[in-house]
Structure 1
């Protein structure tokens, strides 16, 4: 069921993004009185070969346009008469452009049509971030709150020089507002953290190739130190349909449930070792995988003891509540627009920084590029509308950026050729456009295979 929720959110999110992107091309083409032959969500052929396995799950012709739902669930397309793209080549075009064809319109109109999808994705991204900013405001861990207890240094944090309890004073020599500023600074070309360590000022410089290690997610970087209590104890699960069919028993109840742990319990120590913070609690618990432990707890203000045997992965089976004081800011509609637009375009800026690091050799492409598997994991196994719209807004801006890249077959490639035509006064030949389209399609297909293969490998074999 959790897998279905992930896939469902991924399909819904991508359907919204692709449909609106293609609508941007569609509405601008209709605005300039171009004939639109097809409007499809997903491909009705085996991409990138438009003549192979042609069938649609649904199609209906309204006026001059056929609207449909393809079977190949990656992307979608709008087929505009007289345009060389993934759905048609130069050989299918007549010698003389018709007035309702894409190629029969002025270059500036064709440029707007090519940028229509990108424009709509940007508008969608800004609207989503605007709405989230207005509804949710800004919840953050302030610098003062963060430095009450200091930072937790995970494996990667310790590797670069952080220690438990470090208090961050500056990032790249400047003051900061919240924990988010600290976490986001890791994308900068050279990041230097100035910290207070037991009254002594220390500078921690992040190596240029650090993002490669961070993307492996084999060790945590830095986090606020979280005091905690038990929010919810995991309930016993019933046997799955397949287990019932095979006669297998239901999974054993979680150790916390069996031992009688209650919602609201505060864990004080493990086998006599104090565990004030959730991160130090997890570290200590990992020493006792599948072993008996004694927990000292506080329940409704009274001391108590629980004894249990941890699971094989060193967990007990409860969900924590972090006892951290978050600050909150409400925004007016106007303020929310400024903040939301800033957050939206910050996604583009981070993409630019990411590509810069890839080309500079500081980050490996297989670590930086995410495919459907990673995106589905980001949506999560539980339906959370705030997370759904936040991630969809982020993907909308990322899609706009990716489509603007000057690669033939992408909108940015078409736009580049149109700018050449506007500047020089003459268009590239239709044969050149067809060859460029083919080269661009091969590049995109190779990138798609790389991303899907890399995602599948990390999902199932790493």
Structure 2
């Protein structure tokens, strides 16, 4: 069932992005009276699952879910239809249209991708608002257990003040990515500020250790249940551990360290029970455990216990517009930084490039519309940015040659464009093989 939910989200998101991207080419082509021969979701290599011709256009669904396409008459694209190109240009063909019209047609797909992402972020701001903990309220700092972060010089209890000079105002889902992409992180440790320079190959280092959250809130030690094997009968569900062996154990990480140092011993514990503090004795087993299960607490529960103040902002429709636009802008800038790192060999980020399996793995095994739209918006930005790369066979390659034509007044020859298209196609296949090869490699070595 879990795999079905993941697959459903993956295909639904991919289909939506492909259809809307190709629609971005299709609509201006039709407006400029350019003939569109095919409009396909997925690729119809040899045969298609469904197809129907309406007017001059064949609409269909292919069997190979690696993308989609529109075939525009008189355009040098991946179809490499040399027979058509050898005939005299016709008024309805792409090559017969003015350069500015061809440019608009080629930019239509990525334009739709960016518009879609911004619309999603605006909609999410309106529907879900913004839930966060103000950074100023993170009095005791963050939980940092990721080995790559520890190697970089971070410690549990650190407060993140700023990243590359930009002050961090909120602890939310974006903070991890800001730190990963940052170069200089200003932290506060024990009342003193210091700057940590991030290793240039930090993303590569992250892959060498167990995946997990880089930065997290420190959570209270609250008993969820006492196991049958436990000898600590005085402990009860919902007990909030305050101290252990006379030392502060406000957070789970503090409690673990104390228990580790007192294996096989009986120590004192102060617990908060029914809003009253009680002193009891607890036995620590040889594994440094109390024989209990921890309670999973929501932000609201931790707020009731006085650990954090959770802020919830709700936005009206008009208020959601600037909020969503800012969110989209930050995601575009963030992905641009990631792409820059991927093309910088010294960062080692290229080793983490993934293919279709990596995208599939992003989706959760439980259905959440909020998560689905968050991932879809990000993928839409990724698709838009990637398609703008000046590589022949991508929209950006066509745009590059069209801009050259508009500026110079000279149109590249069809032979040149055919050769460039072939070079771009080979390059794209190589990138596709590399990305999906990375997926296979990681699956084999377990990284």
Q: TM-score range by the shorter chain?
A: 0.7 to 0.9
1:223 corresponds to which residue?
216
**Normalising to structure 1: TM-score of the pair?**
0.80
1:265 corresponds to which residue?
238
Task: Say whether 1:69 aligns with 2:42.
Answer: no
Shift of 1:10: 0.7
Task: Say whether 1:440 aligns with 2:424.
Answer: yes
Q: Distance in 1 between matches of 2:88 and 2:292?
A: 71
Deviates more, 1:118-127 or 1:180-189: 180-189
**Normalising to structure 2: TM-score of the pair?**
0.83
Deviates more, 1:422-431 or 1:402-411: 422-431
Deviates more, 1:298-307 or 1:8-17: 298-307
2:415 corresponds to which residue?
431
Q: Work out which of the residue numbers 112, 116, 123 in structure 1 matches 2:104.
A: 112
Q: Distance in 2 between matches of 1:444 and 1:388?
A: 27
- Answer whether contact 2:52 2:58 (CA < 8 A) is retained: yes
Q: Secondary structure at the match of 1:338?
A: helix
List alignment gaps of at least 5 residues for structure 1.
Answer: 46-53, 234-254
Provide the alpha-carbon RMSD of the alignment. 3.7
Q: Work out which of the residue numbers 151, 158, 163 in structure 2 matches 1:159.
A: 151
- Answer whether contact 1:140 1:179 (CA < 8 A) is retained: yes
- Answer whether contact 2:142 2:216 (CA < 8 A) is retained: yes
Go from structure 1 to structure 2 and tell me whether the alpha carbon gap of 1:299 and 1:85 turns closer, same or farther (over 3 Å shift). Answer: farther
Q: Work out which of the residue numbers 183, 189, 211 in structure 1 matches 2:203.
A: 211
Cα offsets for 1:88-110 (capped at 9, x unmatched):
33333243111111111111111
Q: Distance in 2 between matches of 1:309 and 1:20?
A: 59
1:321 corresponds to which residue?
298
Deviates more, 1:372-381 or 1:122-131: 372-381
Go from structure 1 to structure 2 and tell me whether the alpha carbon gap of 1:368 and 1:337 turns closer, same or farther (over 3 Å shift). Answer: farther
Q: Work out which of the residue numbers 174, 185, 191 in structure 1 matches 2:178.
A: 185
- Answer whether contact 1:42 1:75 (CA < 8 A) is retained: yes
1:361 corresponds to which residue?
345
- Answer whether contact 1:409 1:441 (CA < 8 A) is retained: yes
Q: Work out which of the residue numbers 131, 147, 150 in structure 1 matches 2:141.
A: 150
Q: Work out which of the residue numbers 66, 69, 73 in structure 2 matches 1:81.
A: 73
Cα offsets for 1:244-286 (capped at 9, x unmatched):
xxxxxxxxxxx96998x99973563999898543455678999
Superposed, which structure 2 residues align to 1:132-143 within 5 Å? 132-143=124-135
1:415 corresponds to which residue?
399
List alignment gaps of at least 5 residues for structure 2.
Answer: 303-307
Q: Secondary structure at the match of 1:447?
A: helix
Task: Say whether 1:4 aligns with 2:4.
Answer: yes
- Answer whether contact 1:285 1:315 (CA < 8 A) is retained: no
2:190 corresponds to which residue?
198
Q: Secondary structure at the match of 1:44?
A: strand
Q: Secondary structure at the match of 2:91?
A: coil
Task: Say whether 1:21 aligns with 2:5.
Answer: no
Q: Distance in 1 between matches of 2:411 and 2:366?
A: 51
- Answer whether contact 1:268 1:274 (CA < 8 A) is retained: no
Go from structure 1 to structure 2 and tell me whether the alpha carbon gap of 1:230 and 1:384 turns closer, same or farther (over 3 Å shift). Answer: farther
Shift of 1:366: 3.8
Count of paired positions: 424
- Answer whether contact 2:122 2:321 (CA < 8 A) is retained: yes
